[in-house]
């Protein structure tokens, strides 16, 4: 029985080390595709991004990174199995779609400020839905700093982990500033 909101945070080590290494090779993540992360302003005229502190991102597709889709499907399946009620009368999957991944690169001095995953722009194309589940995958762990925090608690991640938690206001999260090396991860949402 789940009694606390922290009970809905799940870590699964599913991605083999060799797959993680191949994803972060220079030919897999070409320099020309990286851009700076920017914050959605919800209609405000002023931006609150700090370009020198923002991480680099690649908006990807599963065609570009097909290795990730099977691991994410397995992670979502495991999450639904764990958190569905044994007396579930609906008898249906409550997650049917996985968003394409966004690859994150945190160089020294960059971080992801605390935020909630209220992703509106994800659902303005062909697919429609409400983000139900957020996921973060860690591709390497040979860096310093860059701790993942959720609900003001440090979540220890290692290479190959996929972290999942509900996409709502009860799960504020952030990545602390990287102090040495480069942190590679990916993020996305399921609905």
Distances in Å between the alpha carbon of 127 and those of 1, 58, 73, 190?
33, 20, 17, 11
For residues 4 and 76, is the Cβ–Cβ distance under 8 A?
Answer: no
Q: Does a structural domain hold residue 49? A: no
pLDDT band at 182 (very low <50, low <70, confident <90, very high): very high
CA dihedral of residues 168, 171, 175, 176 (deg, nearest 10): 140
Locus of tokens 């851009």: 35
Instruction: Indicate whether 48 pLDDT > 70.
Output: no
pLDDT at 32: 63
> Which has more confidence, 39 or 170?
170
For residues 147 and 175, is the Cβ–Cβ distance under 8 A?
Answer: yes
CA–CA dist 160, 19 (Å, integer): 8
Question: What digits encode the pLDDT tens for the residues 95-106?
Answer: 888 988 999 999
Question: What digits encode the pLDDT tens for the residues 120-138?
Answer: 665 566 766 778 999 999 9
Q: Does a structural domain hold residue 1? A: no
Question: What digits encode the pLDDT tens for the residues 156-175?
Answer: 999 999 999 999 999 999 99
Radius of gyration of the chain (CA): 16
pLDDT band at 148 (very low <50, low <70, confident <90, very high): very high
- Helix, strand, coil shares of the chain, percent, nearest 5, are 20, 30, 50
What are phi and psi for residue 152, nearest 5 degrees?
65, 20
Residue 144 belongs to a domain with what CATH number? 2.60.120.620
Q: Does a structural domain hold residue 38? A: no
Instruction: Indicate whether 91 pLDDT > 60.
Output: no
Q: Does a structural domain hold residue 164? A: yes
Q: Which domain holds residue 160?
A: 10-24+55-83+93-190
Length of the chain: 191
Tell me the range of 25-34, 39-48, 71-80, 91-100 where mean pLDDT is highest. Answer: 71-80
Instruction: Indicate whether 51 pLDDT > 80.
Output: no
Token pair, residue 136, equals 């973060």
> Which has more confidence, 186 or 129?
186
Q: Provide the 3-class DSSP secondary structure of residue 90.
A: coil
Q: Please state, rounded to an integer, the average pLDDT across all residues of the chain.
A: 86
| Total count of domains within the chain | 1
């Amino acid at each position: 029985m789940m009694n606390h909101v922290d009970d809905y945070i799940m870590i699964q080590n599913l991605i083999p080390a060799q797959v993680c290494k191949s994803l972060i090779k220079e030919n897999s993540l070409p320099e020309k595709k990286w851009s700076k992360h920017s914050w959605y302003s919800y209609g405000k005229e002023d931006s609150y991004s700090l370009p020198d502190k923002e991480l680099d991102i690649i908006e990807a597709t599963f065609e570009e990174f097909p290795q990730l889709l099977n691991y994410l499907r397995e992670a979502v399946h495991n999450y639904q199995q764990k958190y569905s009620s044994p007396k579930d009368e609906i008898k249906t999957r409550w997650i049917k779609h996985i968003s394409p991944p966004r690859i994150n690169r945190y160089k020294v001095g960059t971080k992801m400020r605390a935020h909630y995953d209220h992703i509106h722009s994800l659902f303005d194309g062909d697919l429609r839905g409400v983000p139900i589940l957020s996921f973060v995958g860690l591709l390497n762990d040979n860096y310093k700093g860059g701790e993942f925090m959720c609900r003001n608690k440090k979540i220890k991640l290692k290479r190959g982990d996929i972290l999942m938690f509900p996409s709502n206001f009860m799960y504020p999260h952030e990545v602390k500033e990287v102090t040495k090396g480069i942190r590679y991860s990916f993020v996305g949402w399921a609905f």
